[in-house]
């Protein structure tokens, strides 16, 4: 999953890191978009006059890009069904 960040008029995709997830404990399975909401609440504050979620460095969190197909190093492909991630072995 990547965060879509607007910084100085340029949109950037920033991969979610372990450091961003630090302090977040998940007790239920979440969809990618639910996790995006959790990260938005943790990383930003809402500025009503701008109608934007602003991060500490002044950049704006626009949203998230959920990647439904990722290729881990173990030779498996992960396929998202919108709610959970399923692991499928490539033959």
Tokens of 21: 């997830």
Domain residue extents for the chain: 2-89
**Predicted local distance difference test score (pLDDT) of residue 13:** 93
β partners of residue 46: 53
Tell me if 66 sits within 8 A of 1, measured CB to CB. Answer: yes
**Which residues does the chain have with pLDDT short of 70?**
68-91
**Predicted local distance difference test score (pLDDT) of residue 71:** 44
pTM of the full structure: 0.67
Report d(CA 63, CA 33) in Å as an integer. 9
**Predicted local distance difference test score (pLDDT) of residue 55:** 93
**Predicted local distance difference test score (pLDDT) of residue 68:** 59
**Predicted local distance difference test score (pLDDT) of residue 4:** 94
């Amino acid at each position: 999953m990547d965060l879509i960040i607007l910084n100085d008029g340029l949109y950037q995709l920033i991969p979610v890191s372990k450091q961003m997830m630090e302090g977040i404990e998940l007790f239920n399975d979440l969809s990618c978009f639910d996790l995006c909401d959790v990260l938005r609440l943790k990383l930003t504050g809402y500025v009503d006059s701008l109608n934007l979620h602003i991060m500490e460095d002044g950049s704006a969190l626009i949203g998230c890009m959920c990647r439904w197909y990722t290729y881990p190093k173990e030779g498996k492909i992960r396929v998202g069904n919108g709610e959970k991630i399923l692991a499928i072995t490539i033959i």
